[in-house]
Homo-oligomer: A and B are copies of this chain.
Amino acid sequence: MPSRAPRKQAPAPRPVVARMRRNGRPRGATAASRIYADLRAELVSLVRRPGEPISETQIATAYGVSRTPVREAILKLSDEGLVEIFPQSGIFVSRIPVATLPETIIIRKSLEETTARMAAEHATSSQLLNLHATLERQREACAAKDREAFHQADEMFHAGIAEVAGYPGIWKLILQVKVHVDRYRRLTLPQIGRMSEVIAEHEPILAAIERRNPDAAGAAMASHLERLLDDISEIQTLNPEYFDQPT
């Protein structure tokens, strides 16, 4: 029996206000979150291949922890659609759901057309200079044929536009949505020639934002992302086991 009254029970006529938030650290460096981040990186980079089984216990021993935090990480990845859990059977890296990729790109196009528009309406000079700097970094990566840096600058460019628009949460949503497209594209690695095309498409977007022309900015962004739709639907034949077949 508790010698003291329990700290907080619901029965009262609605405490409602409740306690104010305490420490400002909402769940940072737990074992689960570290494992989640690691696994996610391995999944998007295709270090773990679609269809491959994943063993909770194996990962747990590898990290020197119990199954519990590993399971927490896996469940989160399952929500994101990166792994599939089959009860009493096993966990597997999800195959790439080819059928849903076009819809994903449509979503991205729709959202980024909006951010480009809003960016053209709200951009400050310093923000424009930052975007120019990012684009220049991308040109350097292109010249150096550094695919990793190029991709990183590419994401920064798009994220930067969302931030200039005043809606950084839109880019967070896009990140969540485009994960399967990223896995798909990782399989179509070569595309060195694409890098300069991408830059050539980024330039008019930034130019339109600079001209404060929302319509042009949105249109340029839309046509840039429409190229993505063309890119997919090429290499489905090789490595068919990585894809979720239309049956």
Q: Could you tell me which A residues sit within 8 Å of B by CB distance?
A: 8-10, 14-19, 21-23, 25-27, 30, 49, 51-53, 55, 58, 72, 75-76, 78-79, 84-87, 89-90, 92, 100, 103-104, 106-107, 109-111, 113-114, 118, 167, 169-170, 173, 177, 241
Contact of A18 among B15, B51, B87, B167 (CB under 8 A): B51
List 11 A–B pairs whose Cβ atoms lie within 8 Å, in order of A's numbering. A9-B58, A10-B58, A15-B52, A17-B241, A18-B92, A26-B86, A75-B76, A104-B169, A106-B114, A107-B114, A110-B110
Report the Cα distance A154→B241, complex, angstroms.
41
Contact of A25 among B22, B75, B87, B173 (CB under 8 A): B87
Chain B min CB distance to A159 (Å): 15
CB of B58 within 8 A of CB of A107, answer: no
Chain B min CB distance to A31 (Å): 12
**What's the dominant secondary structure at chain A's contact region?**
mixed
CB of B49 within 8 A of CB of A100, answer: no
Report the Cα distance A18→B114, complex, angstroms.
42
Task: In the A-B complex, list the 9 residue pairs whose CB atoms are closest, starting with the nearest.
Answer: A110-B114, A18-B51, A103-B167, A103-B169, A17-B241, A110-B110, A22-B89, A27-B85, A18-B52
Which residues of chain B have C-beta atoms less than 8 A from A22's C-beta?
86, 89
> Max chain B CB contacts within 10 Å: which of A9, A109, A169?
A169
Chain B min CB distance to A63 (Å): 15
Contact of A76 among B16, B79, B90, B103 (CB under 8 A): B79
CB of B107 within 8 A of CB of A23, answer: no
CB of B52 within 8 A of CB of A84, answer: no
User: Which residue of the partner chain B has the closest CB to A93?
Assistant: B18
Report the Cα distance A19→B51, complex, angstroms.
7
Report the Cα distance A92→B58, complex, angstroms.
34
Chain B min CB distance to A81 (Å): 11
CB of B241 within 8 A of CB of A16, answer: yes
